[in-house]
Structure 1
């Protein structure tokens, strides 16, 4: 997977920026707050996964504008594709590939894949279960179109079930109970598919995460991943039946994949509560590196690596070890100081100031025409 060039317009603080990238490593420099991370965020948006900073359209579109545009040429297994996205304030964002509209933004994952390493990744280890579920779903969605469809169905069914629970309250009539039976059947079927795939992913990621953690941390500590469902026994359908009265009382669904946990343990102890911040950061990095290896193996092409000022968060030893663990893939990394550890050789350098590429590999005219 190679990103040839990127054009962004009215995205965050970038009025109009066009940058081309080295096939190896591109270093993006500039003072904090001038738009380095915004550039990486625009690249990541083209995977269809949304903002890795959790931003909505109103935040992504430059103040005073109604729409932002991102446009890029990517080459996957040597085949070029033009990917375009329009992000609208108060409206629905849309995208197209080679001039043809994609059905959903998430389908861009079939064209563009990237793995983002950012300081916020610490929440993968230290945050709540939703952060680890999101990681699992991100990995699966980037490699499996069918999973994306099932996951979307699960979200829709869960919304409908919760809405019904809120509407009928503690005294549902016969029609409401019949409707609830329908939603329960659908939720159980899709929920068990999602849970099985997440559990299989945990097993697939664990060996690579363990190996990488030992290299990053320089220890023989044992890193373990396990997927734990929120229901006892083998059947989500039976769990939904048992929890129905409580769900009606509370007006929400208490069991299902939306309550599951991807548990991370270090030497047998929960990493979230028993690991130091340095250990938690190394665990998060290990999971991202395992993610990259898994996606590359599934797709037969290495995802783009986006490193957002990661080395400033690490001590010298961990920074050196991370350099040794980086995959052989196109990499775009940011640095406020321009300093990177030994071993990071970059083919091009781009300087960002006030939302503009003031020096570096700028491809004049790229992305000047066309809209998503």
Structure 2
């Protein structure tokens, strides 16, 4: 699978622009602010029907325009597939494949597997638990549609339970039987989520540690741990114990929507004790492990987007990173960088076909 061509219309800072791509390495070079990352985000859009960087879809429409459109032409098993994502102000986003409109975007997730490595990934370290849960869910969902549907169902029931708690508070009433209906559903979906996240991390963590070892020349030991309230606990008992707290807070304080990951380097939190270079290496290893996992599950090489990848990495780590992608384990790569000479020097060493676009 590879992306042959992309066409952008009124997408972010682009009025109308098309790019024809190489099957292996494609580089976007230019000064900051010219739109290199926007092209990568457009490619991301075609896999997930949303931006990696901006959750407000209408803000991806070019200033002064009423709509945007991103179209990609993919070669998949020697057949051409066309995917179009578009949005008109005031209307719902539309996603089409080969002319057919998707009723549910979730049906598309995993069809065009993709991994992005970006400076924005630092949110995985510095932000709250929701960011890390979304990372886990994104990795599993690209190869497990049942898991994605379970997450969507869980979140819907969670929102209903929270609304009921707010209703109780506003009307000074309480109905334990009604609340228990939602508890039972959250238990059912939550146990599936907990089980799949546990099994995923059992497989994923060794891959991640091996990836970090390759990037850092084994200079540091890294690890991650799954934090969940469901470990060795019965969720219905947790609901009972947290009932009064939930009624005061007016939201559900226990469940898999509170899961988290702990990131460590040499036994200490990466957030506090990791240098900028170590944190970046940690995140790159995390994302390359994501690539490995998705590839092993789907038997397809995901598209890999490397946004501003060389910033804050010393020469030895850049060398290690490039050596990792210089083999047949990887498919199509897209790289953005501000230094054209540096980029060309690095990609030339891969002995792969490449194309450089000056933005």
Normalised by the size of structure 2, how large is the TM-score? 0.92
Normalised by the size of structure 1, how large is the TM-score? 0.89
* 1:74 matched to 2:74: yes
RMSD: 1.9
The more displaced of 177-186 and 295-304 is 177-186
The more displaced of 147-156 and 78-87 is 78-87
1:145 alignment counterpart: 145
Deviations 1:192-223 (A, max 9, x none): 21122112111111111111111111225332
Distance of aligned partners of 1:198 and 1:306 in 2 relative to their CA distance in 1, 3 Å threshold: same
Contact 2:26 2:357 in 1 (8 A): yes
Deviations 1:106-160 (A, max 9, x none): 3222421111011111222333222211110110111111111111111111111
TM-superposed CA distance for 1:292, in Å, is 0.3
Which one has more relative contact order, counting CA pairs under 8 Å at least 6 apart? Answer: 1
TM-superposed CA distance for 1:294, in Å, is 0.5
1:357 alignment counterpart: none
How many residue pairs get aligned? The number is 351
1:31 alignment counterpart: 31
1:237 alignment counterpart: 236
Distance of aligned partners of 1:232 and 1:22 in 2 relative to their CA distance in 1, 3 Å threshold: closer
For structure 1, the residue ranges without an aligned partner over 5 or more in a row are 353-372
2:296 alignment counterpart: 297
The more displaced of 223-232 and 43-52 is 223-232
TM-superposed CA distance for 1:171, in Å, is 7.7
TM-superposed CA distance for 1:267, in Å, is 2.8
2:11 alignment counterpart: 11
The CA distance in 2 between the partners of 1:107 and 1:351, in whole Å, is 35
TM-superposed CA distance for 1:249, in Å, is 0.9
The CA distance in 2 between the partners of 1:167 and 1:155, in whole Å, is 18
Deviations 1:319-365 (A, max 9, x none): 1111122252110111222122533455212222xxxxxxxxxxxxx
The more displaced of 294-303 and 323-332 is 323-332
For structure 2, the residue ranges without an aligned partner over 5 or more in a row are none
1:177 alignment counterpart: 176
SS in 2 for 1:46: helix
Matches within 5 A, 1:320-359: 320-326=319-325, 327-338=329-340, 339-340=342-343, 342=346, 343-344=349-350, 346-352=353-359
The CA distance in 2 between the partners of 1:232 and 1:26, in whole Å, is 44
Distance of aligned partners of 1:49 and 1:286 in 2 relative to their CA distance in 1, 3 Å threshold: farther
